[in-house]
A and B are shown apart, each in its own frame.
Chain A
């Protein structure tokens, strides 16, 4: 059980090293010639206008909120789904009630226009 996650951790660390290896080869092989135009930001060929790190409007923050609700719901469904065959009809009815509440919530968000891209 714990061994599984040791493998995952080793994969993450060794994977980082392996993915970094080509970058080391590039560092050894590739030329390094620098002039101001080369390191300027690409903007369709014109001189970049200001920075990209300005204030911007994340239009989909409501999608983000709805996402949190449904993602948590999906997490609740996992343990239920695994033992579903043992629990039978009673668990099914309970889940129908749970999902109905969520679907009413989705319908409400839909009706209120939270799912429109503006």
Chain B
């Protein structure tokens, strides 16, 4: 009987989290369009609703009426499951993200004791969706996009893991709530200077690459691969990919806030929940800013950055933090 209640609770929470992701994706897509317009001295969406605020709702209604086209040569089953995998992988990230604290209860779905490791695992599930989607389309551009995505994920997974280990060393725990509590005195980005800061930079670079955003958007690369693995997807399946991608963007930014920027903690008058969202959206803004500022990497430059720069830096960083913990504490 107890189990059934727990299952019901989990299902209800899942609906809440999914709705939250859908809304925050809409906010982020709108922000991205408005900010890119602003950076390029354009106006951006403005006709639907005040300042174009209802544009995304209009887009969703439009996409719901679009036909789902499956190419004749595609593998039907794999083709139609790929977007679901990407969306669910993004959803599973949110199980361990603590959003804030009301009284003594932490707003988190489950405080899993290996939280950050679980997060890294779920975040890298996305590549399975992208690779199968690219392959099942039976389109040369999509296949190239999927393969590039696999190469990229494989390369940036390791720097990401190395910077997570830096945090685990400082916090002595892998639970996300424990990590935030351990930063009560000082955020990890300022601890063990400069190694905490280096770990943060490595994490941000690697997470940009993991979410396939510019300057690491080689799997999509409109100008050479025509949206890569998404080429053959129409209507709602296409927007499921978008949902996964933007959901992942928010998840990665939230994780960076949890691990390096003190999570929900902040000066008193502002409630913790609001602090968390201010910090996360500030990081999302940085990601959007980067996207509309830098040109795309070439594939060899991308792999060089990971293997010949971030990996050695990450390894040295771990040793630096270890030495700092032993000598100065």
Verify that A and B bind, or say they do not: yes
Q: Which residues of A are in contact with B by a Cβ distance under 8 Å?
A: 1, 3-4, 6-8, 10-12, 14-16, 18-20, 22-23, 25-27, 29-33, 36, 38-44, 48, 51-53, 56, 58, 60, 63-64, 66-67, 70-71, 74, 77-78, 81-86, 88-89, 92, 95-96, 99, 102-103, 106, 110, 115-117
A-contact 0/1 string along B155-168, CB 8 Å cutoff: 10110011001101
Complex Cα gap A3–B239 (Å): 32
- Which residues in B have their C-beta under 8 angstroms from that of A8? 92, 95, 110, 112, 118
26 A-B Cβ contacts within 8 A? Answer: A3-B110, A4-B110, A4-B112, A6-B3, A7-B110, A11-B92, A14-B10, A14-B11, A15-B92, A19-B83, A19-B84, A19-B88, A22-B236, A23-B68, A23-B80, A30-B235, A39-B70, A39-B71, A40-B71, A40-B72, A60-B303, A63-B155, A74-B165, A82-B172, A95-B322, A103-B312
Binds A, one of B47-55, B59-67, B256-264, B284-292: B59-67
Q: How many B residues touch A, CB cutoff 8 Å?
A: 84
Complex Cα gap A71–B143 (Å): 25
In contact, B18 and A15 (Cβ under 8 angstroms): yes
In contact, A71 and B236 (Cβ under 8 angstroms): no
In contact, B169 and A7 (Cβ under 8 angstroms): no
Q: B42 contacts the other chain (Cβ, under 8 Å)?
A: no
Q: Chain B: which residue is nearest A31 at the CB level? A: B67
Q: Which residues of B are in contact with A by a Cβ distance under 8 Å?
A: 3, 6-7, 10-11, 13-15, 17-18, 64-74, 80, 83-84, 87-88, 91-92, 95, 109-113, 117-118, 135, 137-143, 147, 151, 154-155, 157-158, 161-162, 165-166, 168-169, 172-174, 226, 231-232, 235-237, 239-240, 243, 299-300, 303-304, 307-308, 311-312, 315, 318-319, 322-323, 325-326, 329
